[in-house]
């Protein structure tokens, strides 16, 4: 598998948010701990995992690449936009690069906020915007098919 | 048509996803004119560059040379037609006039295929 030199680990911190691209995701308990705040009564987490099938074909794994430098900038923009909607929240967004096997997580988002409505909304907003804009790509591998023919997917 | 050009200006082009799979590389340094080279010209330049038959143009078929170049060039054009660009890690908006985006020495351009994170 070709691995771009720009597809590397990286972290970008903003006030109240940490965005990371990682080879190994942190345990979810650690991520929850990071966003926890005694002022906030709601913590919402989202974990995206690799499904075992697509259009009737058996999926064996996904492979992710990122243009990390730009992906992190885009994540920061998303956090800023979320901040325009909800002033008070803490967020951690982590995306994995490399191989993600079936059932394994590729993305984790944790959001804490004073109340549940904002926490749910902010988590969903960040997720949808990450999928729409962030410079990360996934390649899907199917059982019984030549790996060299595996296609890169599009979220559009 | 080799790279013994006397051009002292170069850009780095980064390839990800389908772009890198099509070409078999993840980045390359391209000589460009020192002045007056615009993003609108880059697609044709890259397609032409990768359309040349050369022994390393094995488009995955196991056959080297002999027509492989043109197929790769066409495949690259198809990828570029559906991709966006970034210049020095800033996206180029869809409504930006590429004939006005000048590329100078040291600039990092990336082919941004439709994304699929999450």
**B82 domain-assigned:** yes
B:10-69 residues touching chain A, CB 8 A cutoff: 14-18, 20-21, 24-27, 60
Q: What percent of chain A has pLDDT over 70?
A: 99
Q: Do A6 and B113 touch (CB under 8 A)?
A: no
**B1 domain-assigned:** no
- Chain-centroid distance of CA B47 in Å reads 7
Higher pLDDT: A153 or B57? It is A153
Chain B residues within an 8 Å CB radius of A48: 118
Alpha helices in B30-113 (DSSP H): 42-49, 68-81
**B27 domain-assigned:** yes
**B64 domain-assigned:** yes
Q: Which of A65, A127, A148 shows the shortest C-beta gap to B17?
A: A65
Q: For the purposes of burial, counting CB atoms within 10 Å of the CB of B99, is it exposed (0-12), middle (13-18) or buried (19 or more)? A: exposed
pTM: 0.92
Domain count for chain B: 1
Chain A residues within an 8 Å CB radius of B21: 2, 139, 152
- Average pLDDT over all residues of chain A: 97
In sequence order, what DSSP letters do the residues of B61-80 get, joined into one string?
A: SS--STTHHHHHHHHHHHHH
Phi and psi, residue B81, nearest 5°: -60, -30
**B118 domain-assigned:** no
**B4 domain-assigned:** no
CATH of the domain at B23: 3.10.20.30
From A37's Cα to the closest Cα of chain B, the distance in A is 26
Instruction: List all residues 6 or more positions away from A86 whose beta carbon is below 8 Å from its beta carbon.
Output: A113, A118, A121, A122
- Structural domain including B88 reads 9-112
Q: Do A4 and B27 touch (CB under 8 A)?
A: yes
Q: What is the pLDDT of residues A17-35, one digit of tens each?
A: 999 999 999 999 999 999 9
**B72 domain-assigned:** yes
Q: What is the pLDDT of residues A53-98, one digit of tens each?
A: 999 999 999 999 999 999 999 999 999 999 999 999 999 999 999 9
118 residues of chain B, pLDDT tens digit each: 555 555 689 999 999 999 999 999 999 999 999 999 999 999 999 999 999 866 554 444 554 555 678 899 999 999 999 999 999 999 999 999 999 999 999 999 999 999 999 9
**B103 domain-assigned:** yes
**Would the pLDDT of A111 be above 70?**
yes
Chain B residues within an 8 Å CB radius of A137: 16-17, 113, 115-117
Instruction: List all residues 6 or more positions away from B117 whose beta carbon is below 8 Å from its beta carbon.
Output: A64, A66, A71, A95, A107, A130, A131, A134, A135, A136, A137, A138, A155
């Amino acid at each position: 598998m070709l691995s771009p030199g720009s597809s590397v680990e990286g972290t970008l911190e903003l006030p109240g948010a940490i965005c990371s691209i990682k080879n190994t995701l942190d345990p979810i308990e650690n991520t929850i701990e990071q966003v926890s705040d005694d002022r906030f009564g709601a913590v919402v987490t989202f974990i995206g995992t690799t499904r075992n099938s697509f259009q009737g074909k058996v999926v064996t794994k996904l492979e992710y690449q990122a243009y990390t430098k730009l992906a992190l900038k885009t994540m920061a923009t998303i956090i800023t936009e979320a901040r325009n909607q909800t002033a008070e929240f803490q967020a951690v967004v982590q995306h994995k690069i490399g191989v993600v096997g079936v059932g394994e997580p590729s993305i984790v988002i944790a959001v804490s906020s004073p109340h549940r409505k904002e926490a749910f909304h902010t988590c969903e907003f960040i997720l949808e915007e990450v999928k729409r804009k962030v410079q990360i790509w996934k390649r899907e591998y199917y059982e019984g098919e030549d790996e060299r023919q595996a296609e890169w997917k599009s979220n559009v | 048509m080799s790279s013994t050009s006397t051009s002292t200006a170069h850009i780095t082009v980064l390839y990800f996803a389908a772009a890198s799979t099509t070409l078999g590389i993840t980045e390359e340094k391209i000589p460009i004119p020192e002045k007056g080279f615009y993003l609108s010209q880059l697609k044709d330049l890259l397609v032409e560059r990768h359309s040349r038959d050369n022994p390393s143009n094995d488009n995955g078929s196991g056959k080297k040379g002999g027509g492989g170049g043109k197929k790769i060039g066409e495949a690259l054009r198809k990828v570029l037609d559906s991709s966006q660009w970034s210049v020095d890690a800033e996206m180029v908006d869809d409504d930006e006039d590429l004939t006005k985006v000048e590329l100078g020495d040291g600039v990092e351009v990336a082919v941004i295929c439709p994304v699929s994170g999450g």
